[in-house]
């Protein structure tokens, strides 16, 4: 059997019958009391729990009695924490108003066609004329030409020039004496870069250099000074000895020099 009782602070407790008359300790508030002996006192309250009036004895160590079971009601669900974003969403990249243009494609209404500095065919709104732009093919940045500039370029292109392979000597013989013959030959090939061709320099050891720019004023002695644009948009200045070039190649020519090559 068990004894139902109240601690001095009113907490409902249960205690084995064998602990009657011994010291107890409430697990709720820590109050120390003596478990009533029902056979001795026999004082029962209306709810069946004995009235505890004994003061705690200072002798024996207290016995911790168990708390009376409390009926559990329906569980109340805890509100879910709001889903708060810890980081801001990344902004969507801005679309490039300049798009590649197929050579056989015609620009739409209100659009202009032009070339990037590396010769890629591009197209965009005529309102972009004179504003900064970026080539979607090679990521080079430049100023978009205006319609007036495109008209001037078209007029200049109307005067078709024959594709010549100039093998003559430079006008300044003093400069020619200061550098290798490869430097003279490269400058003649470099003219075709502006026509959309790609110049490749094959160096000793197998390295291939594809320059995007050439500093003619700095290349008057035994070295050539070149500019190379990297994939991340930065530039590298390369100084190469002319004698380190084993051979050169010009790619992307739409026609070949007349009377130079024997083509069956």
Prediction pTM value: 0.34
* 8 Å CB contact between 19 and 1: no
**Structure tokens belonging to residue 17:** 């019958």
Residue 102 CA: distances (Å) to CA of 76, 114, 123:
67, 11, 9
Give residue 44's pLDDT.
39
CA-based nearest residue to 22, from 44, 47, 5: 5
Q: How many Å separate Cα 9 from the centre of its chain?
A: 65
Q: What is the residue-level pLDDT of the chain in tens, covering all 264 positions?
A: 777 888 888 888 888 878 888 888 888 888 888 888 766 544 433 334 444 444 443 444 455 555 555 555 555 655 655 544 445 666 665 667 899 988 778 888 889 998 888 888 899 998 998 899 999 999 898 999 988 888 776 666 555 444 444 444 445 555 444 456 888 889 888 988 888 889 999 999 889 999 999 998 888 778 999 999 999 999 999 999 999 999 999 998 877 777 777 777
CA-based nearest residue to 200, from 190, 189, 209: 209
């Amino acid at each position: 059997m068990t004894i139902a009782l109240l601690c001095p602070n009113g907490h409902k407790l249960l205690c084995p019958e064998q602990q009657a008359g011994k010291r107890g300790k409430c697990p709720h508030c820590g109050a120390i009391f003596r478990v009533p002996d029902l056979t001795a006192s026999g004082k029962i309250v209306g709810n069946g729990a004995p009235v505890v009036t004994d003061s705690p004895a200072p002798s024996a160590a207290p016995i911790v009695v168990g708390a009376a079971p409390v009926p559990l009601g329906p569980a109340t669900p805890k509100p879910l924490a709001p889903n708060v974003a810890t980081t801001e969403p990344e902004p969507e990249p801005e679309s490039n108003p300049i798009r590649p243009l197929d050579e056989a494609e015609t620009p739409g209404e209100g659009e202009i066609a032009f070339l990037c500095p590396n010769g890629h065919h591009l197209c965009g709104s005529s309102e972009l004329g004179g504003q900064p732009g970026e080539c979607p093919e090679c990521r080079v940045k430049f100023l978009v030409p205006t319609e007036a500039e495109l008209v001037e370029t078209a007029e200049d292109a109307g005067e078709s020039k024959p594709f010549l392979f100039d093998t003559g000597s430079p006008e300044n013989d003093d400069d020619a004496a200061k550098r290798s013959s490869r430097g003279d030959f490269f400058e003649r090939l470099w003219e075709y870069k502006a026509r959309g061709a790609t110049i490749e320099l094959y160096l000793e050891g197998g390295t291939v250099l594809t320059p995007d720019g050439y500093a003619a004023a700095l290349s008057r002695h035994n070295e050539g000074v070149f500019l190379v644009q990297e994939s991340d948009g930065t530039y590298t200045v390369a100084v190469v000895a002319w004698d380190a070039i084993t051979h050169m190649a010009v790619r992307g020519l739409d026609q070949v020099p007349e009377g130079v090559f024997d083509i069956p």
